[in-house]
Structure 1
């Protein structure tokens, strides 16, 4: 059974990877998702001075929700800025490992989509239209929910979330196409 669904899984992952590459390198519609700070050099210098390790940070930091009751902590939140900071390792980005992880995630998503298709429809499917819809919907959900969560909890802008949802829709459609095209038929 795994041999029969390996091809649609790998092709769906490849289609998503190529679509993502086009979105980010040719169409570049995510380029406006990030803004430059007015005094970037001063912020960089301040961060360098505290030497944060790679990770995720919250500004102001509140280790316990009870601390929000203190006037000092409330003043920090009112004064601002309020930010979530993601710190990466210093140096030029090494795209190879990141792209490898992205492709691996695409394979995992496609494998999970295959599991849903198989458990809901079986291996030898006659209705490829329904298969397309199931695979496209599950793929869309897998790629979309994180962006909505980031919009809620990490202040990602509505336009950025909207573009991420458009990406997810494209990924869902190309995945649905790959599954409908290559899934074993009855």
Structure 2
């Protein structure tokens, strides 16, 4: 796309702006601090998981191999008796924030770039900066917010947490929109 180099600056500023907004949300305002709860007996749960070490991955409890198994009385009883859980296991050790933050910045850069590409495809460089920014903001809102709604629907992510994630997405979309309004060529 030959017009993309013309919008490199708003792409970069949007990615940096979202990165900074995210840092403020998580380190200063901390409204996601209550998104996770401690297990009643964390030590016993950790010991149980350590007794048969799990490789990093995503697990579900109870595990059901398909709809045929779901129809069995045994599987239905396991669901009725609970617990029902989705578990994500990382490799042991203190998570290195450097690689995680780098991946987060790359995602911000990718979302800003794709939003810019879509705006250029739809309205081109001749677009009014407010129209370009508005489109970038809506695209960014969708990109940052829809995954959380999907997790609310399919994996029972608490709706209060989803609402906070959507507020984050609205902030990230607004930051992106302002970057493009301000710096649109």
- Which bracket does the TM-score occupy, shorter chain normalised? over 0.9
Query: 2:57 — aligned with what?
Result: 55
What TM-score does the superposition give when structure 2 sets the normalisation length? 0.96
SS across alignment from 2:125:
coil
Q: Contact (CA 8 Å) 2:4, 2:116: kept in 1 or not?
A: no
Which whole-Å CA distance do the structure 1 matches of 2:4 and 2:129 have between them? 19
Query: 2:150 — aligned with what?
Result: 149
Q: CA deviation at 1:5?
A: 1.1
Which ranges of 4 or more aligned residues in structure 1 deviate by more than 3 Å? none
Structure 1 alignment gaps of length 5 or more: none
Which whole-Å CA distance do the structure 2 matches of 1:164 and 1:149 have between them? 12
SS across alignment from 1:147:
helix
SS across alignment from 2:105:
helix
Which whole-Å CA distance do the structure 2 matches of 1:100 and 1:151 have between them? 26
Matches within 5 A, 1:175-186: 175-184=176-185
Q: CA deviation at 1:58?
A: 0.5
Which whole-Å CA distance do the structure 1 matches of 2:183 and 2:130 have between them? 13
Query: 1:14 — aligned with what?
Result: 16
SS across alignment from 2:144:
helix
What TM-score does the superposition give when structure 1 sets the normalisation length? 0.96
Q: CA deviation at 1:69?
A: 1.5
1:137 aligns with 2:138: yes
Which whole-Å CA distance do the structure 2 matches of 1:149 and 1:27 have between them? 25
Query: 2:31 — aligned with what?
Result: 29
* Aligned Cα root-mean-square deviation (Å): 0.9
Structure 2 alignment gaps of length 5 or more: none
Which whole-Å CA distance do the structure 1 matches of 2:52 and 2:24 have between them? 38
Query: 1:117 — aligned with what?
Result: 119
